[in-house]
Structure 1
Amino acid sequence: MFKFKDVRYKDIVNIENLEIQKGEVTTLVGESGGGKTTILRMLNKLISPTSGEITYKGEDLKKIDSIKHRQSVVMLSQSPVIFKGTIEENLCKGFIYQEKALPKKSEMKKVLNIVKLNKNLEDDSNRLSGGERQRLALARILLLNSDVYLLDEPTSALDEKLADELMDIIIKEAASFNKTIVMITHSNKIAIKYSDKVIEIENGNVKEEKYEWCN
């Protein structure tokens, strides 16, 4: 799905070859500051490589319209933006930006259940805790039903038990619709349990790629 060829980004990332397969869960691990988030940002076209080429479905990312690309490839940042207003208004934001028909209330309630956010659609988003805000942001991108989900520490604000439950649900949902997930985590447990492939990033380079770490 994604291929890197001689990709550099300033002095942060230097990747000769890397391939991310369709329908798989690929997890980036490694020390903070090693370039993992920069890789996700390049996949989402928030930034472009200084040199080299990244392709998506065989097409050079540079030639793909950024707005169109982000309809297919959505990203959840480590500190996601929560907008003023209700939970419903937050869930609709992505559809408004992408100029899509708004989701049904039943669909919104379903995705809140998926991420275990026990709130009403009319509740004020500003009153949510850090963990609840992270789950709302995750619900917002899952609702968009895109081909690829880029997740930067999606469970960092959650306790271990809830993080495990939430990842189990997300992975099963993604697998049932053949979605592709690229995520960053500092949890070895999550990386080993839920990944098809684990890629260790060190100083912006691919140090190791392993399938045998995973179940």
Structure 2
Amino acid sequence: MFQLEKVIFKNIINIDRMEISPHKTTCLIGESGAGKSTLLKLLNKMNIPDEGKVYYNETPLQEIDSVKLRREVVMISQTPLLFGDTVEDNLQKGLMFSEKPLASRDELMKTLEIVRLDKPLDGFAERLSGGERQRLSLGRVLLMKPPVYLLDEPTSALDEETEIEVMKSFIETAKGHGGTIIMVTHSTNIAEQYGEEIITISK
């Protein structure tokens, strides 16, 4: 899926060689400031290495159109973005960006159930809490069904019990679509329960 060879980015990342397997959940763990988020952004060209190469399905990233890549390798940041006014607007926006058919009402409601977000579709997204916005973002990318999900601390605003519930449901659904999940997480529980591969990043 991904290979990194002799990758250096500023004074943050120095990787001799790394491989990330397809169709698995890979957790990136390590102390704050070690470069986990920086590494995640190297995988969809939000960061460009100063040296070395990153490959996606054996093709160097510099040979892949950035828009095309980011429709396949979809990222959620730790602080989720809101699009439009309502919950429905936000759920549909990823499909619009990726030029896919919009979801039906039933699909939208099912997605809200998966991410444990009990809010009406016509509710105002700006009124959601931080944890609710994170779950809304997870729902948005689930509807897109991309080959790769890049998740940067996707449940950091949730309590531990809710975090485990949401990630269990999310991972089962994403992998049911054949997805690969690469996730930065602060949660040892999440990494131990759902990380089929765990990569530790050290300063």
- TM bucket, shorter chain: over 0.9
- Aligned residues of 2:2 and 2:20 also touching (Cα < 8 A): yes
Partner of 1:23: 23
Quote how far apart the aligned CAs of 1:96 are.
Answer: 2.1
Equivalence map 1:16-165=2 (5 Å): 16-165=16-165
CA RMSD of aligned residues (A): 1.0
TM-score, normalised to structure 1's length? 0.91
Quote how far apart the aligned CAs of 1:83 are.
Answer: 2.5
Q: Give the whole-Å Cα distance in 2 for the aligned partners of 1:96 and 1:106.
A: 18
Quote how far apart the aligned CAs of 1:167 are.
Answer: 1.2
CA shift digits 1:52-98 (9 cap, x unpaired): 00000010001000110111110010001112400111112112222
Please give the secondary structure, in 1, of the residue aligned with 2:75: strand
Quote how far apart the aligned CAs of 1:189 are.
Answer: 1.1
Quote how far apart the aligned CAs of 1:51 are.
Answer: 0.9
One-letter amino acid matched to 1:151: L
One-letter amino acid matched to 2:141: I
One-letter amino acid matched to 2:78: Q
Partner of 1:6: 6
TM-score, normalised to structure 2's length? 0.97
Quote how far apart the aligned CAs of 1:178 are.
Answer: 2.4
Please give the secondary structure, in 1, of the residue aligned with 2:201: strand
Q: Give the whole-Å Cα distance in 2 for the aligned partners of 1:173 and 1:180.
A: 11
Identity %: 48
C-alpha distance 44-133 of structure 1, shift in aligned 2 (>3 A)? same
Quote how far apart the aligned CAs of 1:99 are.
Answer: 2.4
Is it true that 1:179 corresponds to 2:179 in the alignment?
Answer: yes
CA shift digits 1:161-184 (9 cap, x unpaired): 110111111221133232100001
- Aligned residues of 2:98 and 2:144 also touching (Cα < 8 A): no
The number of residue pairs the alignment matches comes to 203
| Unaligned residue ranges in structure 1 (runs of 5+) | 204-215
Q: Give the whole-Å Cα distance in 2 for the aligned partners of 1:202 and 1:156.
A: 20
- Aligned residues of 2:145 and 2:177 also touching (Cα < 8 A): no
Quote how far apart the aligned CAs of 1:158 are.
Answer: 0.5
One-letter amino acid matched to 2:184: I
Q: Give the whole-Å Cα distance in 1 for the aligned partners of 2:25 and 2:36.
A: 15
Q: Give the whole-Å Cα distance in 1 for the aligned partners of 2:202 and 2:134.
A: 27
Quote how far apart the aligned CAs of 1:101 are.
Answer: 2.1
Quote how far apart the aligned CAs of 1:201 are.
Answer: 0.3
| Unaligned residue ranges in structure 2 (runs of 5+) | none
Please give the secondary structure, in 2, of the residue aligned with 1:71: helix
Q: Give the whole-Å Cα distance in 1 for the aligned partners of 2:158 and 2:38.
A: 23
